[in-house]
Structure 1
Amino acid sequence: MEETEATLFPFTKIVKQEKMKRALLLNVIDPTIGGVLIKGEKGTAKSTAVRSMEQFLPSRPAVKGCAYRCDPRFPKRLCADCKARIAAGEKLETVNVPMKVVELPLNATEDRVSGTLDIEYILKTGKKKFEPGILASANGNILYVDEINLLDDHIIDLLLDSAAMGVNYVEREGVSFSHPARFVLVGTMNPEEGNLRPQLLDRFGLSVEVEAEDSIETRMEVIKRRIAFDADPEAYVAAEKDELEKLTRKIEDARKLVKKIPADDDAVRMAAKISMNYNMEGHRADITLIRAARANAALEGRDKIAKEDMEAVAALVLAHRVKKRAFDKSGFDEAGVRKCLASM
C-alpha cells in the first residue's frame, strides 16, 4: 500500500531503531547540529521514519506572505523582500506555520534545487526576478533526500553549503541573488549501492546505521503493526494521536530548554577528551558533540549536560568520522566512550 501524507505510518509506532529516532529528534530540537545521514538496508524503516515526522513537527512563526516563510524572531536573517517592507514602514504580520518534510527528487537539477534568475527580464527591466527552487521551500523545514549517495556530488555540496551557511546564494551571468535557507538536511541511503566521499560524510552532523532486527519477537511485532496499519491506516493513526501530540509538546519544551543549557567546562572537557580518544581531526566533531549532547539533555528534561548525554550521542557524532582501515567491518567502539568518561 502506498502511504499518503494523511496515512503515514506513525513515528511513535516504529519498533526499536532508537538511535535513528533520537538522531532525527535531536536535529529538530537544535538544527545547528548539522543534519543526519541514515544508512541501512532496504526495509529498515528509514524513509518511513523521516516522512512520518510531519505528524509531530511543531509549528513556528513566519512572516505572512513571504515566499521563504522568514522567521520574524531573527531580523538579521530576513530575506531582501521582508527587509524592504520594513524599510518602507510596513509592519510585518506573523502567522504560525507547521514544519514540513520537503523531499528532493533524485533527478533534481541544480536550477531546480537552488532556483533560477530570469536574466532576460533583468536585462529588460533592470529588476531582479527569481524563481524559487527546492531550497526556498526547505527554509525552516526538513529537507529529505532519499538515496542521497546516488546524487551528483556537486548537488550534495550545494545542499551542505546552504545548510551550513543558512543562505542559498545564486549567481548567473554576473547577477546574484540570495535568500534564507535554514533547514535540517536528512539523507538516507543503502551502503550496498555505494558510499559518500569521506569529505561529504564528515559534514553531516550525525550518522546512524540501522539494521534489520534479528530477534523473532521484534520481527513479529514489526509485522503485526504493519498489518494492523494497512488494514485501516486512518484509524491506526487516529489511535496514536495522543502519543504524537505528546511528542510535539516534548519537542517544543526541549526547544525552549536547549537555549538555557550551558556548554560549561565539564561538558567541553568531556567532548574534547572523547574526540581525542578517537583521534578526531579538527574541531567539528567536538562542537557537534556539545550541540548534540545539549539537545539530548533538553529532550530528557535536564538543564545541564551530563555524562549520559555524551554517551547517548557519541556514536551518532563520531561513527562516520572515525578513520577505518581497508576492509575493516567492525562497528563503532561505544565501550571506549564509557571508559573515557569513567575517569572523569
Structure 2
Amino acid sequence: MSTVAPRRSVFPFTAIVGQDEMKLALLLNVIDPKIGGVMIMGDRGTGKSTTIRALADLLPEIEVVADDPFSSHPSDPEMMSNDVRERLTQGETLPVAKRKVIMVDLPLGATEDRVCGTIDIEKALSEGVKAFESGLLAKANRGILYVDEVNLLDDHLVDVLLDSAASGWNTVEREGVSIRHPARFVLVGSGNPEEGELRPQLLDRFGMSVEVRTVRDPKQRVQVVEERSAFDNKPLDFLDKYQVEQDGLQQKLVDAQTRLESVTLDYDLRVQISQVCSSLDIDGLRGDIVTNRAASALTALEGRNEVTVEDIQRVLPLCLRHRLRKDPLESIDSGYKVTKTFCQVFGLPEPDSEGA
C-alpha cells in the first residue's frame, strides 16, 4: 500500500489580498531571473515573507542531478557544476530527480563562510582533493534566496550576494585552492526604511524595487484577517479551495518561461526607454537593461509576443524608482516622478497629481 506524502501547509500565492506590485515583481523575476531580484521595502506585517514563501511553494518542481549538492541541471551545461559537467563528458549517465524549488532564508548573523561555503585546507593538502563544504549560495542555486532586513546586513555580505546573483557563480578561494559552483537564484531582499537605508550603490544592483504599505481600506483589512484565520483553522481545506487557481498560475509561469525567448521589443520603444532613463539622470545602463527584460517578461506572462507601451508603463516605476538620485528637499514620490517622465517621453497625458 503506497503512502502519500503529506502536503506542506503554505499559504497559497493566489489567496494573497492586495500587494499587486510586489506579486508582479516576484513573478517577473521567476520568469526571467536575469532581471536581478527584488528589493521590497515597507511596513512591518505587510505579508512580505508570507508572499515569498507562497511563491516558492507555487513554483513547479525542477529536474536536478540527484547526487549533486548544487542542484545542477541534468542537461543544461550553463546550470551544471564542474563535477557534473566532467561526469557527463566521460559518458556517465546522471541520476535525475525532481524536487520543489528551494527557498533559502539568510539569517542576519550569517558569516561569509556560512554564505559562500568553506574549503577544508587540511584535506586538500594531505589528500590532494578539493573538500568543499557548501554554503547557503549552493543551497539556493536554481531557487530563491530571501534576505529579510537586508538593510541591516553587513555591506560586504550584500556585495557577495549581489555579485553571485549577477554572475550566476560563486567562487571560494583559500590558500591557493579555488572552488567555483553555479549560484543562480532569485534574490529577494526586504526591509523597513525606518531601520536604515541601503546604500544607493547596493540598491541600484537590485533589478526591481517595490514599496509596500499597510492596507488602509477597512473592508480589505477584514478580508485579509478572514483569509488568514480560515487558513490557520483548516489549512488543507483552504488549500483545496485555491488549488485550481494555483495550478492555473503555475502553468501560466511555465508557459511564460517558454515564450520569453520569442518576445520582441521594438527598437523605437527601446530608444524611448533609454530616453526616460537619460531624462531621469540615472547612472549606468542597468536601468535600461532591467526595464527591457521586465517588460518582455510581463508580455510573456500575459501570453503575448510583442511588448506594448502599456507593458513598459507597468514595469518602469518598479525598475527605476530606486535608481533616482535622492534629493532630501524633494517631497515628490519617486514612482510618480518616473511615471511623469515616461508620459512626457512617450507623448501621453501626464498624471494629474502624485496619487494619480
TM-score range, shorter chain: over 0.9
Q: Is 1:119 aligned to residue 124 of structure 2? A: no
TM-score by length of 1: 0.94
The AA in structure 2 aligned to 1:311 is Q
Q: Deviations over 1:60-110 (max 9, x none)?
A: 332232211112342144212112212322133433332121111111110
Q: Is 1:337 aligned to residue 320 of structure 2? A: no
Q: Aligned partners of 2:55 and 2:79: how far apart in 1?
A: 25
Q: Aligned partners of 1:32 and 1:318: how far apart in 2?
A: 16
| 1:282 alignment counterpart | 284
SS at match of 1:99: coil
Q: Given the alignment, which residue of 183, 186, 200 partners 1:184?
A: 186
Question: Aligned ranges for residues 39-118 of structure 1 at < 5 Å?
Answer: 39-118=41-120
Q: Given the alignment, which residue of 290, 293, 296 partners 1:294?
A: 296
The AA in structure 2 aligned to 1:194 is G
| 1:195 alignment counterpart | 197
Question: Aligned ranges for residues 1-344 of structure 1 at < 5 Å?
Answer: 6-331=8-333, 332-333=335-336, 334-342=339-347
Inter-CA distance 240–263: structure 2 relative to 1 (3 Å threshold): same
Q: Aligned partners of 2:142 and 2:295: how far apart in 1?
A: 22
Q: Deviations over 1:231-273 (max 9, x none)?
A: 2222212211111111100100100111111233133123212
CA contact (8 A) 2:57 2:100 kept: no
Q: Aligned partners of 1:28 and 1:319: how far apart in 2?
A: 21
Q: Aligned partners of 1:105 and 1:317: how far apart in 2?
A: 26
After TM superposition, give the deviation of residue 318 of structure 1 in Å: 0.5
Q: Deviations over 1:248-305 (max 9, x none)?
A: 0010010011111123313312321221232212111000000000001111111011
Inter-CA distance 77–236: structure 2 relative to 1 (3 Å threshold): closer
After TM superposition, give the deviation of residue 15 of structure 1 in Å: 1.1
The AA in structure 1 aligned to 2:305 is D
After TM superposition, give the deviation of residue 206 of structure 1 in Å: 0.2
User: Unpaired segments of 5 or more residues in structure 2?
Assistant: 1-6, 350-356
CA contact (8 A) 1:53 1:101 kept: no
Q: Deviations over 1:191-239 (max 9, x none)?
A: 1111110010000000000001222222222222222222222221221
The AA in structure 1 aligned to 2:135 is G
Identity %: 46
CA contact (8 A) 1:55 1:244 kept: no
After TM superposition, give the deviation of residue 12 of structure 1 in Å: 1.0
The AA in structure 2 aligned to 1:342 is G
Inter-CA distance 53–77: structure 2 relative to 1 (3 Å threshold): closer
Q: Aligned partners of 2:280 and 2:246: how far apart in 1?
A: 37
Q: Deviations over 1:134-193 (max 9, x none)?
A: 111100001111111111111111100011110000011121111000101001111111
TM-score by length of 2: 0.91
The AA in structure 2 aligned to 1:49 is T
CA contact (8 A) 2:56 2:144 kept: no
The AA in structure 1 aligned to 2:17 is V
CA contact (8 A) 1:267 1:290 kept: no
Q: Deviations over 1:15-67 (max 9, x none)?
A: 11100000000000000000000001111111111111122112233223221
